[in-house]
Structure 1
Amino acid sequence: MLSSLRTLNLAWSDIDIPSIKSVNFTSLNSLDLSINGISSVIPIWLSNLTSLMHLNLFSNDFHGKIPDFLETFSALASIDLSSNSFNTSMPDLLCNLSNLVHLQLSRNMFSGPIPANLGLLSRIEDLYLNNNQLSGNIPMSLGQLSKLKNLDISHNSLVGVLSETHFTKLNNLSYMALASNSLALNFSSRWIPPFQLQMFFASSCNIGPHFPNWLQTQTNLQRLDLSNSSIRDSLPEWFENILSRISELDLSYNQISGKLPRFHGNSSNQILKMNSNKFEGSLATFPSNVRYLDLSDNLFSGHIPQTDGTMNPNLEVINLSKNRFTGSVSVHLCKVPSIQVLDLSQNKFSGILPECLGNLINLTVIVLTNNNITGVVPSSLGSLKNLCSLHFRNNRFEGDIPMSLQNLENLVTMDLGNNLLMGAIPFWIGENLLNLVFLNLESNKFTGNIPLQLCQLNALQCFSLAHNNITGTIPRCFGNLSGMMITTLWVSSTKYYMSYYEENVLASVKGNQWVYTKTIKFLTSLDLSSNNIVGEIPDALMNLVGLRNLNLSRNLLKGQIPTSIGDLKQLESLDLSMNKLSGRIPQSLSSLNFLTYMNLSFNNLSGQFPAGNQIQTLDDLSIYEGNNGLCGPPVSRSCNVNDVSYSYVNEDEGQGEDDTEGFWLYAGMGPGFVVGILGLLGSLHFNRRWRVAYFKTLGNVYNWLMVSILVNLAILRRKVFE
Structure 2
Amino acid sequence: MKIKGNLIDDANRLSSWVGKNCCTWKGVGCSHKTDHIVKLDLRNPIPTAVGTLLSGQLSPSLLNLNHLHYLDLSMNNMQISISLGYLKSLRYLDLSWSIFDATIPHNLGNLSRLQYLNLSNSGLSSPIPVTLGRLTSLTVLDLSSNYFNDSMLYSLCNLSSLVHIDLSDTSLRGAIPHCLGNLASLSILRLSANYLQGPILSEMGNMTQLTELDLSLNAFEGEIPNSMRNLCNLCVLDLPDNKFTRKLSTSVGSPFGCIHNSLEDLSLSSNELSGGLPNHLGEFKNLERLVIGWNSFYGPLPSSLRTLSYLRVLDAGYNQLNGSIAISLGQLSKLEYLDLSNNSFVGTVCELHFAKLKSLYELTYYHPMTSLTFLVLSNNHLTGVIPVSLCKAKNIAVIDFSNNQLLGKIPPCLGQLNQLSVLDLTNNSLYGEIPSSLGSLQSLNSLHLRNNKFFGKLPLSLQNLTHLFTIDLGENVFTDNIPPWIRYNLTNLRFFSLQSNNFYGDIPPQLCYLQDLQLLNLAQNNIMGNIPRCFANFTAMVAVDSVFDFKLYNYYDVSATYEENILDSMKGRELEYTKTLKFLVSMDLSNNGIVGEIPEELMDLSGLLNLNLSGNHLKGRIPNNIGQFTQLESLDLSRNKLSGPIPPSLSSLRYLSYLNMSFNNLSGRIPTGNQLRTLDDPSIYIGNDDGLCGAPLNSCLDDKSSDGDHKHGDHKHGDEGKVADETDFLWFYAGIGPGFSVGFLGVCGTLNFKKSWRYAYFQFIENNYNWISVTIAIKFAQLRRKFNKGKFGG
Q: Match for 2:366 among 306, 316, 321?
A: 306
The residue identity in structure 2 corresponding to 1:305 is Y
- The one-letter code matched in structure 1 to 2:366 is Q
Aligned mate of 2:251, from 193, 207, 213: 193
Deviation, structure 1 residue 238: 3.7
What is the match of residue 516 of structure 1?
Answer: 577
> AA paired with 2:204?
L
The equivalent of 2:203 in structure 1 is 141
> Pairwise mapping of residues 252-267 of structure 1 onto structure 2 (< 5 A)?
264-267=329-332
Superposition deviation, residue 139 in structure 1: 5.5
Offset from partner CA, 1:653-679 (integer Å, 9 cap, x none): xxxxxxxxxxxxxxxxxxxxxxxxxxx
Quickly say closer, same or farther: Cα 1:161–1:457, change in 2 above 3 A. Answer: same
Q: Distance in 1 between matches of 2:615 and 2:320?
A: 48
* Whole-angstrom CA distance in 2 between matches of 1:448 and 1:258: 61
For residues 35-50 of structure 1, what are the structure 2 equivalents within 5 Å? Answer: none
Q: Is 2:487 aligned against 1:424?
A: no
In 2, the alpha carbon distance for the partners of 1:539 and 1:643 equals 35
Kindly indicate whether the alpha-carbon contact (under 8 Å) linking 1:193 and 1:214 is maintained by their aligned counterparts in 2: no
CA contact (8 A) 1:469 1:531 kept: yes
Q: Quick one: structure 1 residues 368 and 249, their matched pair in 2 at CA, closer, same or farther if it must change by over 3 Å?
A: same
SS at match of 2:438: helix
- Which of 207, 210, 213 is residue 272 of structure 2 equivalent to? 210
* 2:423 partner SS: strand
Larger Rg: 1
Cα gap change, 1:586 to 1:208, in 2 (>3 Å): same
Displacement of 1:436 in angstroms is 0.6
**Structure 1 residues 171, 642: closer, same or farther in 2, change over 3 A?**
closer
Which has the larger displacement, 604-613 or 170-179?
170-179
TM-score scaled to structure 2, two decimals?
Answer: 0.59
Amino acid across the alignment from 2:636: D
Query: 1:116 aligned to 170, 179, 186, which one?
Result: 179
State the one-letter code of the partner of 1:188: R
Q: Secondary structure at the match of 2:413?
A: helix
Maintained 8 Å contact 1:284/1:305: no
Aligned counterpart, 1:10 = none
Mapped partners of 1:641, 1:171: distance in 2 = 84
Specify the alignment match of 2:546 in structure 1. 490
2:567 is the counterpart of 1:506: yes
CA deviation after TM superposition for structure 1 residue 513, in Å? 1.0
Partner amino acid, structure 1, of 2:365: P
Q: Is the 8 A contact 1:368 1:391 kept in 2?
A: yes
In the alignment, is the contact (CA less than 8 A) between 1:364 and 1:498 conserved in 2? no
> Cα distance 1:107–1:368, how it changes in 2: closer, same or farther (>3 A)?
farther
Per-residue Cα deviation, 1:27-85 (whole angstroms, up to 9, x for no partner): xxxxxxxxxxxx979xxxxxxxxxxxxxxxxxxx97887899xxxxxxxxxxxxxx997
Is 169-178 or 107-116 further displaced after alignment?
107-116
- The residue that corresponds to 1:697 in the other structure is none
Contact 2:468 2:493 in 1 (8 A): yes
Pick the aligned partner of 2:683 from 611, 622, 626: 622
- List runs of 5+ in structure 2 lacking aligned partners: 1-29, 34-67, 71-90, 94-110, 116-137, 144-154, 556-561, 709-794
Matched residues in 2 for 1:116 and 1:350: separation?
Answer: 61
Separation in structure 2 between the aligned mates of residue 268 and residue 182 of structure 1, nearest angstrom: 26
* Partner residue of 2:525 out of 437, 454, 468: 468
TM-aligned CA deviation for residue 475 of structure 1: 0.2
CA contact (8 A) 2:140 2:163 kept: no
Structure 2 distance, partners of 1:87, 1:502, is 28
Q: CA separation in 1, counterparts of 2:485 and 2:216?
A: 53
2:246 and 2:273 in contact (8 A); partners too? no
Q: Indicate how the Cα distance of structure 1 residues 518 and 234 shifts in structure 2: closer, same or farther if over 3 A, else same.
A: farther
- In structure 1, give the amino acid aligned to 2:337: L
Q: Which residue identity does 2:220 align to in structure 1?
A: V
Aligned ranges 1:106-505 → 2 under 5 Å: 116=179, 118=181, 128-129=187-188, 140-144=202-206, 151-154=210-213, 161=220, 163-164=222-223, 166-168=225-227, 170-171=229-230, 175=234, 177-179=236-238, 184=242, 186-189=244-247, 192-193=250-251, 195-196=254-255, 197=260, 199=263, 201=265, 208-213=270-275, 215-216=277-278, 218-220=280-282, 222-224=287-289, 226=291, 236-238=298-300, 247-249=311-313, 264-272=329-337, 288=354, 289-290=356-357, 305-307=365-367, 312-486=369-543, 488=544, 490-493=546-549, 501-505=562-566
The 3 A distance-change label for structure 1 pair 158 and 315 is closer
Give CA-to-partner distance per residue, 1:176-217, whole Å, 9 cap, x none.
5244x89845343586226354746466x8x64535547546
Check conservation: 1:507, 1:515, Cα contact below 8 A.
yes
CA distance in 2: counterparts of 1:629 and 1:161, whole angstroms = 66
Measure how far apart 1:369 and its partner are.
Answer: 0.9
**RMSD of Structure 2 on Structure 1 (CA):** 4.6
The yes-or-no answer on 1:547 pairing with 2:604 is: no
Deviation, structure 1 residue 623: 2.0
Is it true that 1:562 corresponds to 2:662 in the alignment? no
* SS of residue in 1 equivalent to 2:595: coil
1:554·1:577 contact (CA, 8 Å) conserved in 2?
yes
The answer for the alignment partner of 1:576 in structure 2 is 637
The answer (yes or no) to whether the contact 2:668–2:692 under 8 Å persists in 1 is: yes
Kept in 2, the 8 Å contact 1:631–1:638? The answer is no
What is the TM-score normalised by the length of structure 1?
Answer: 0.64
Q: How many residues align?
A: 544
After superposition, what is the alpha-carbon deviation per residue over 1:368-426, rounded to whole angstroms, capped at 9, x for unaligned?
11112222111111121111111111112221111111111111111111111121111
Give secondary structure in 1 for the equivalent of 2:337. Answer: strand
How far did residue 363 of structure 1 move?
0.9
Q: Distance in 2 between matches of 1:260 and 1:598?
A: 64
Report SS of the residue matched to 1:506: strand
Mapped partners of 2:319, 2:523: distance in 1: 41
| CA–CA separation in structure 2 for the residues paired with 1:169 and 1:268 | 30
Report Cα offsets for 1:292-312 as digits up to 9, x if no partner. Answer: 5668xxxxxxx96123x5xx3
SS of equivalent to 2:336: strand
Cα distance between partner residues in 2 of 1:505 and 1:234: 39
Measure, in 1, the Cα distance between the counterparts of 2:222 and 2:688: 69
Query: Is the 1:192–1:214 Cα contact (8 Å) retained in structure 2?
Result: no
Partners of 1:583 and 1:261 lie apart in 2 by: 78
User: Does the C-alpha gap of structure 1 residues 414 and 547 become closer, same or farther in structure 2, counting only changes over 3 Å?
Assistant: same
Cα deviations by residue, 1:617-661 (Å, 9 ceiling, x for unpaired): 1122222221123444444433239954799xxxxxxxxxxxxxx
CA contact (8 A) 2:597 2:619 kept: yes
Look up the equivalent residue of 2:187 and give its one-letter code. Y
Distance in 2 (CA, whole Å) between partners of 1:497 and 1:409 is 20
Rounded Cα–Cα distance in structure 1 between residues aligned with 2:465 and 2:628: 35
Taking the TM superposition and a 5 Å limit, the aligned residue runs for 1:643-654 are: 643-644=704-705
1:534 aligns with 2:595: yes
CA distance 1:571–1:290, change in 2 (3 Å):
farther
Name the amino acid aligned to 2:698.
R
Aligned counterpart, 2:131: none
Deviations 1:241-270 (A, max 9, x none): 687666333659x98899999684431221
Whether the 8 Å CA contact 1:141–1:166 is kept in 2: the answer is no
Q: In the alignment, is the contact (CA less than 8 A) between 1:84 and 1:108 conserved in 2?
A: no
Distance 1:419 1:186, change over 3 A: same
Kept after mapping to 1: 8 A contact 2:299/2:323:
no
Measured in 2, the distance between the counterparts of 1:420 and 1:91 equals 65
2:477, 2:655 → 1: CA distance? 36
Q: Quote how far apart the aligned CAs of 1:140 are.
A: 3.6
